[in-house]
Amino acid sequence: MKRHLRTALTAATAVALTAALAAPALAAPSDGGHDATRQAVRAAVADGVPGVTMTVRRGHGTWAATAGVGNLKTGKPRSTADHYRVGSITKTFVATVLLQLEAEGKLSLDDTVEKWLPGLVRGNGHDGRKVTLRRLLNHTSRIYDYLDDTGFQQKYMTADGFMKHRFDEATPEELLAFAMANEPYPESDEPFNYSNTNYVLAARVIEKATGGDDYGDEIERRIIAPLHLTSTSVPTTRVTLPRPSSRTYSKLVKPDVGGPTYDVTELNPRLAYGSGQMVSSSADLTRFYSALLRGRLLPPEQLKEMKTTVPSSRDTSRYGLGLVDRELSCGVHVWGNDGGIFGSNSDAVTTDDGRHSLAVNFNGDWSGSTDAIIEAEFCAGRGALPVAQQATRMVPGPVGS
């Protein structure tokens, strides 16, 4: 689900943001190589994002910056070391583990969902016997997205529902039940239909193929530990973020409708499961995507599979296996993913050779443009549009993107 909210902040929020903008906006020292990026980060805060934290990795060097605030009540700035919920960036980790299992001969991406999860994808026209694991990973399965189910939305995505159920542990089976209560997406000439349900199922397949280990344990053992991603985790039911971290904010209303700003920092991340459960930092995400594209996590055959794309819902991007190929305005291609979960919007990308990476997070889910920041970093001096002329992106919804 996508959001397009462009409403003004409440008076208290506006005061906090005004104070933040009046002070020096960025924590990082001046660096002429990132002037356009710095301008785009400031523009995001001016557009209404409470605070931004980001890291750029070029070769062996890194540059990090923040803008705005991490706490609207106290005015405390964001930290370049902030932990945050990464939403659908989790999908790249899940897809990587499945491809590792394929490389080890433990499964095939041409296996059906029914083979690994018998009887789980059934009802209202859904049939796991006709869906392969590959079609889960590239969103061509046509399986209904549990986020689109009205029952799920009423229970978790309205203000009243979220406040009542934010600490519930939604099981994978509950999330799948929301999806199976609906018909599959209709067949068409363009088979791509983004569905968070695909990655709930993919995570369950990992657990089946590894003898019952939690999919998060496999991500820890296979990716987090080898790459020394010290700020990255797959929390189970921990409702708080590791320190340092900022508060996160949401409108908790329908798109294009104004309303109060809610602090949504604490929640049970199991609500998103394999579609968006993870926590990380900008530094860790740049390290992960750089290592992935450099071939440190997958053999060449599996990395090639991951980078085999289908047209997505956005004209400038194509979707691989948990990995998105984006063509920027200057013709540069970057690989990565973005993700949204209540109060947190994130984006992480890298060049094909893994040598130039960027990860950014907003601690508000209703405004701002991570696309503009990416364009500024990778296209400055290459004929990119000025930041002010770039279209504002469709911001990810509260759980998956």
Checking if the pLDDT of 389 tops 60, the result is no
pLDDT at 29 over 60: no
Q: For residue range 32-91, list pLDDT tens digits in order.
A: 478 999 999 999 999 999 999 999 999 889 999 999 999 999 999 999 999 999 999 999
Percent of the chain with pLDDT over 70: 86
Model confidence pLDDT, tens digit, residues 192-219: 999 999 999 999 999 999 998 899 999 9
| Residues labelled as active-site residues | 88
Contact 263/13 with Cβ under 8 angstroms? Answer: no
Q: Which of 8-17, 24-33, 127-136 has the highest mean pLDDT?
A: 127-136
State the Cα–Cα distance between residues 214 and 189, nearest whole angstrom: 36
At 383, the pLDDT band (50, 70, 90 cuts) reads: low
The pLDDT of residue 323 is: 98
Buried b (16+ CB within 10 A) or exposed e, 343-357: bbbbbbbbbeebebb
Q: Among 161, 166, 163, 132, which residue's Cα sits nearest to residue 149?
A: 161
Q: Can you give the pLDDT at residue 40?
A: 95
- Mean pLDDT of the chain, nearest integer: 88
Binned at pLDDT 50, 70 and 90, residue 105 comes out as very high
Task: Give me the pLDDT at residue 254, please.
Answer: 62
Least confident of 10-14, 119-123, 178-182, 295-299: 10-14
* Dist. CA 18–CA 338, nearest whole Å: 28
pLDDT of residue 315: 82
Q: What is the pLDDT of residue 263?
A: 97
Band (369; pLDDT cuts 50, 70, 90): confident
Rg over alpha carbons for the chain, rounded to the nearest Å, is 20
pLDDT at 117 over 80: yes
Which CATH number among 3.40.710.10, 3.40.50.720, 3.90.1720.10, 3.40.640.10 corresponds to the domain 2-281+295-396?
Answer: 3.40.710.10
User: Cβ(361)–Cβ(48) under 8 Å?
Assistant: no
- Determine the pLDDT at residue 189: 83
The two tokens of residue 332 are: 């540069």
The pLDDT of residue 106 is above 70? yes
Residue 136 has pLDDT above 70, yes or no: yes
| Percentage of the residues of the chain whose pLDDT score is greater than 90 | 79
